[in-house]
């Protein structure tokens, strides 16, 4: 991948301009779908050589993005449907009372929520963990006075940040990096360990310190302050309050027993959510349960689609930067546009140990712009091998730096189109979450880079 030089074309320059314009519009807090559609048309027209190609590219890229996001859309919809059912039954109140004794302040709650997300994500990966932690613990966190945006930061940085980037339990990310770098997975996990932990600890500490004064909601509602009628419970409410955590606990045990992860684990969580929702509707509403199930599912999907609609358009543009371009624009394009820019940068930048470390982080960040942190790992891994050999630097440390930047950017802490699962569960804007995450992640990048330079 790295051995062949990249020839930049007008398509590459237009795409880069598009990235810069879209990021500028985001910084100005304006909506970007119209800008994305305009650049999709331009890219299609240039890449396929006709106006009809441009028109088709607009639709094909949106369709591709919708298919890519469909699993997450369905998960969010079904978990939301369950939460609506729990609220109608009053089961959410019953589940909150015990947790209110632990989550006493917003600050304590922030750390509990984040560490819980970290532990779940290490064994199940972040996507199913978001649904699990969001369905069970998020209501408690909000009742303890934690703002939904602060809760989303905790879940996101600990899960899609620390757990997914280091991934020392499932070892999916380090295995991809190690394979491309020609080293063993254990080399990355051991020699890169200081870099991963510095990145994680500095990032979450910076996030807490920068936001601790604004974490608490203006009004905190404790269990004791809930209206009296909310404390009147039914047998159905009690049954579902017990069934919900028990069902998700059973999911965790089954995932561990049968080594289910990734999409399989997400399917378990989503399927459990919809089955518990149906059980709650039958137990609580009897003959009206058929209509209730329809209402809950409809409400869940309306919520999910409302959240995802603009992100599908944004994602459509950035998928052209990765491997999605082949499906969208044809087999003549085998390499993503941003991947080409990353390879070009690696070929043309002056090289020494420290420049190699910087290039690894920049390349990882560029490949992460398509919202898939894993798509850039083969490139950063192969670059680590090339750079390490050329300048006598540690290949595992270089691979670790590329892995960290690719996953923190593309895996779901920086780019808004990668933040949707957490943002949707917490009912916050993915753009607002991305802006909140950016300063602590950049601080983490700085300290990870400095640590990497010391270890090279």
Q: Is the pLDDT of residue 45 over 90?
A: yes
pTM higher than 0.85 for the full model?
A: no
Measured CA angle at 431 (ends 215, 114), to 5 deg? 40
12-37 per-position pLDDT tens digit: 999 889 888 887 886 676 778 899 99
* DSSP structure class, residue 331: T
In terms of Cα–Cα distance, which of 24, 56, 18, 51 is closest to 36?
A: 18
% residues pLDDT > 70 (the chain): 91
Does residue 232 sit within a domain? yes
| Number of domains composing the chain | 1
pLDDT attached to residue 184 = 85
Domain hosting 103: range is 69-309
Mean pLDDT of 162-181: 81
* DSSP structure class, residue 330: -
Residue listed under structure tokens 């798509």:
375
Does residue 50 sit within a domain? no
Q: Is the pLDDT of residue 284 over 70?
A: yes
Provide the β-strand partners of residue 146: 216
Query: Which of 147-161, 333-347, 420-434 has the least mean pLDDT?
Result: 333-347
Rounded-to-integer distance, Cα 163 and Cα 350, Å? 33
Query: Which of 33-47, 192-206, 253-267, 277-291 has the least mean pLDDT?
Result: 253-267
Which residues, including other chains, have CB under 8 Å from residue 370's CB and lie 6 or more apart? Answer: 318, 319, 321, 322, 324, 336, 338, 410
For residue 39, name the pLDDT band (cuts at 50, 70, 90).
very high
Rounded-to-integer distance, Cα 426 and Cα 150, Å? 9
Does residue 36 sit within a domain? no
Q: Is the pLDDT of residue 444 over 90?
A: yes
Q: Is the dihedral angle over the CA atoms 408, 414, 418, 422 positive or is it negative?
A: positive
Rounded-to-integer distance, Cα 263 and Cα 169, Å? 17
% residues pLDDT > 90 (the chain): 27
Which residues, including other chains, have CB under 8 Å from residue 452's CB and lie 6 or more apart? Answer: 195, 357, 397, 398, 400, 401
């Amino acid at each position: 991948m790295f051995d062949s030089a990249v020839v930049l074309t007008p398509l590459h320059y237009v795409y880069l301009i598009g990235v810069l314009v879209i990021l500028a519009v985001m910084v100005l807090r304006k909506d970007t779908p119209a800008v994305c559609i305009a650049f999709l048309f331009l890219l299609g027209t240039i890449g396929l050589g006709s106006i009809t190609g441009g028109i088709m590219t607009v639709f094909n890229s949106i369709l591709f993005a919708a298919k890519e996001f469909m699993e997450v859309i369905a998960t969010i919809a079904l978990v939301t449907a369950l939460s609506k059912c729990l609220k109608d039954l009053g089961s959410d109140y019953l589940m909150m009372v015990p947790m209110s004794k632990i989550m006493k302040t917003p600050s304590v709650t922030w750390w509990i929520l984040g560490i819980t997300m970290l532990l779940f994500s290490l064994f199940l990966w972040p996507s199913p963990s978001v649904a699990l932690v969001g369905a069970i613990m998020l209501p408690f966190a909000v009742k303890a006075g934690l703002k939904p945006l602060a809760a989303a930061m905790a879940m996101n940085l600990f899960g899609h940040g620390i757990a997914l980037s280091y991934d020392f339990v499932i070892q999916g990310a380090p295995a991809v990096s190690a394979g491309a770098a020609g080293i063993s997975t254990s080399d990355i996990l051991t020699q890169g360990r200081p870099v991963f932990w510095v990145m994680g600890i500095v990032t979450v500490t910076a996030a807490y310190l920068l936001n601790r004064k604004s974490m608490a909601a203006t009004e905190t509602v404790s269990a004791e302050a809930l209206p009296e009628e909310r404390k009147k419970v039914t047998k159905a409410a009690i049954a579902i309050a017990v069934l919900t955590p028990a069902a998700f606990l059973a999911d965790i045990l089954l995932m561990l027993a049968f080594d289910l992860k990734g999409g399989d684990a997400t399917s378990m969580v989503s399927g459990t959510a919809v089955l518990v929702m149906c059980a709650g509707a039958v137990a609580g509403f009897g003959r009206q349960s058929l209509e209730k199930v329809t209402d809950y599912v409809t409400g869940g999907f309306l919520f999910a689609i409302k959240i995802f609609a603009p992100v599908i358009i944004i994602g459509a543009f950035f998928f052209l930067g990765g491997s999605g371009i082949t499906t969208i624009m044809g087999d003549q394009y085998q390499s993503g546009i941003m991947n080409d820019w990353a390879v070009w940068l690696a070929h043309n930048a002056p090289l020494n140990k420290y420049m190699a470390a910087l290039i690894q982080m920049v390349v990882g960040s560029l490949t992460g712009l398509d919202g898939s942190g894993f798509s850039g790992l083969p490139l950063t891994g192969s670059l680590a091998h090339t750079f390490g050999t050329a300048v006598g630097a540690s290949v595992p440390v270089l691979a670790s730096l590329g892995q960290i930047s690719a996953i923190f950017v593309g895996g779901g802490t920086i780019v808004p189109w990668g933040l949707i699962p957490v943002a949707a569960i917490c009912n916050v804007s993915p753009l607002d979450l991305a802006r909140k995450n950016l300063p602590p992640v950049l601080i983490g990048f700085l300290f990870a880079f400095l640590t990497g330079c010391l270890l090279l």
